[in-house]
């Protein structure tokens, strides 16, 4: 109770019970909100610290199967693409001795001669794999001796191209055969084996259509002692790794 200036008592205003109740409810709601916030933070912390569940056997099996299938598909695609560019070839017979031996394996470059603008056209001395006109179901390997437009003549084993003696830089085994002068037609090649007396080549069946060429013999990879590039102007043995390392 209060007293005014005139000394008369003044009664205090009554406190409403509803105000007390509202205040208590507000305190309770604030406490509940704080509790809920703490519980939420604890739940998030537990979720972050919880380790992921181990995958089931089915999930592991499915993952392995998927990776295996992807690897197989990728391998098939790579093999297909490689077959468009290169192929392997097994030498059959003695026609290219002493440079290529029976049973020797080669990598054939199938793309170089087909590049646009004649970036790498056939050259004299190139060793090529082709389908011969008289054996359509078999591949041969020979050496290019003359190109379209060249005049070829063989005198007692010596080969003349455009009137000049062809140097035997690739160590061919010459014979004593002779052939009259022949002009190689456009789009064709004149090919011969390095082992002249044991070779079925252009001396027997004429010039070779360039479209029948499979590709250029690029690399020898088997047997290991013969591993190396196949040059156009030197013996193949001189370009093998064994020869290079031995200094011969």
Q: Which of 142, 199, 216, 226 is catalytic?
A: 142
Residue 58 binned pLDDT confidence (cut-offs 50, 70, 90): confident
Query: How much is the pLDDT for 4?
Result: 46
Closest by CA position to 189, among listed 130, 235, 139: 130
Please give the CATH architecture assigned to the domain spanning 82-246.
Ribbon (2.10)
For the stretch 62-117, pLDDT in tens is 888 888 887 887 777 766 666 678 899 999 999 999 999 999 999 999 999 998 88
Domain limits of the chain?
82-246
Q: Which of 2, 17, 63, 95 is catalytic?
A: 95
Told to judge if 56 belongs to the known catalytic residues of this protein, a careful annotator would answer no
More confident of the two residues 53 and 13: 53
For the stretch 183-212, pLDDT in tens is 999 999 999 999 999 999 999 999 999 999
Eight-state DSSP code of residue 93 = S
Distance CA 128, CA 192 (A): 10
Closest by CA position to 87, among listed 124, 116, 130, 132: 130
Distance CA 156, CA 171 (A): 17
Q: Taking the model in full, what pTM does it have?
A: 0.69
Helix boundaries (H) for 96-219: 202-205
Told to judge if 142 belongs to the known catalytic residues of this protein, a careful annotator would answer yes
Contact 214, 110 (CB under 8 A): yes
Query: How much is the pLDDT for 18?
Result: 47
Q: Regarding beta strands 213-222 and 127-130, do their DSSP bridges make them parallel or antiparallel, or are they unpaired?
A: antiparallel
Closest by CA position to 111, among listed 83, 136, 72: 83
In this predicted structure, the answer to whether residue 40 has a pLDDT above a threshold of 80 is no
Q: How far is CA 153 from the centre of its chain?
A: 43
Task: List Cβ neighbours of 221 (8 Å cut-off, separation of 6 or more).
Answer: 88, 105, 106, 107, 227
């Amino acid at each position: 109770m209060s007293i005014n200036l005139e000394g008369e008592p003044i009664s205090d205003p009554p406190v409403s019970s509803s105000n007390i109740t509202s205040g208590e409810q507000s305190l309770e709601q604030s406490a509940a909100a704080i509790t809920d916030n703490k519980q939420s933070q604890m739940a998030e912390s537990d979720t972050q610290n919880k380790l992921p569940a181990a995958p089931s056997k089915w999930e592991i099996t499915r993952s392995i199967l998927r990776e295996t299938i992807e690897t197989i598909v990728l391998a098939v695609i790579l093999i297909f693409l490689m077959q468009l560019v290169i192929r392997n070839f097994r030498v059959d017979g003695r026609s290219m001795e002493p440079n290529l031996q029976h049973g020797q394996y080669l990598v054939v470059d199938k793309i170089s001669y087909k590049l646009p603008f004649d970036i790498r056209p056939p050259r004299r001395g190139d060793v090529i794999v082709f389908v011969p006109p008289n054996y359509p179901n078999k591949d041969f390997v020979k050496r290019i001796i003359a190109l379209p437009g060249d005049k070829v003549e063989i005198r007692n084993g010596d080969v003349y191209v455009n009137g000049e003696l062809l140097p035997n830089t690739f160590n061919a085994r010459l014979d004593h055969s002779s052939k009259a002068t022949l002009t190689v037609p456009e789009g064709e090649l004149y090919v011969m084996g390095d082992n002249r007396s044991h070779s079925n080549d252009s001396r027997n069946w004429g010039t070779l259509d360039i479209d029948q060429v499979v590709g250029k013999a690029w690399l020898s990879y088997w047997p290991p002692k013969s591993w190396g590039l196949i040059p156009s102007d030197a013996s193949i043995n001189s370009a093998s790794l064994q020869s290079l390392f031995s200094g011969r």
